[in-house]
Amino acid sequence: MAKKSGKGLYATALLFFLAGAGYLVFSGISESSVYFLNVSEALSMPAGELHSARLFGTVREDGLTRLDDRNGVRFQLEDKDNAEKTLWVEYEGPVPDTFKAGAEVIVEGGIRGENAFKAVTLMTKCPSRYQKENRI
């Protein structure tokens, strides 16, 4: 009687391994990917599609308030190129020291309700005084 070859078993195991690894890579990439948009781009998208995004803009002076009962802020994020386009942002958490009206910020979160963005991350762009000077 001829001895059976185990090549079929190894090929099947390899196929299952590659399928599992491919699924893990695909699901990891799709879950961690977020849109990086300015305010006008975010406003032009349907709210249902903007549940996970990173927005860039400038903090508007109008409506900038600290949350009384908890740590955080509520403010209008202004589009860098079109000051008429704004989006309300609410952020609960520690506020960076450099956060103020006129500061350029990046917020990460999603649209909640009509024209309101619930941020889970708030980052401010460092002022130019912190950048290294060009020296000869």
CA distances for 42 relative to 19, 38, 82, angstroms: 35, 6, 13
C-beta of residue 60 within 8 angstroms of C-beta of residue 82: no
Beta strand segments in the chain, E = 35-38, 53-59, 65-66, 72-78, 86-92, 104-111, 116-124
Half-sphere exposure of 82 (CA within 13 A, CB side): 10
Residue 95 lies in domain? 34-126
Please report whether residue 20 resides in a domain: no
pLDDT of the residue at 3: 56
pLDDT of the residue at 22: 82
Please report whether residue 100 resides in a domain: yes
**Total domain count for the chain?**
1
CATH label of the domain that carries residue 102: 2.40.50.140
pLDDT of the residue at 71: 86
Please report whether residue 74 resides in a domain: yes
Spell out the per-residue pLDDT of the chain, length 136, in tens: 555 567 888 888 888 888 888 877 776 655 555 667 888 888 888 767 777 888 999 999 888 888 877 788 999 999 988 888 898 999 998 888 889 999 999 999 988 776 688 999 999 987 555 555 554 5
Please report whether residue 133 resides in a domain: no
CA distances for 78 relative to 6, 44, 66, angstroms: 65, 14, 18
Please report whether residue 94 resides in a domain: yes
Please report whether residue 25 resides in a domain: no
Measured distance CA(57)–CA(76) in Å, rounded? 9
C-beta of residue 37 within 8 angstroms of C-beta of residue 56: yes
pLDDT of the residue at 80: 86
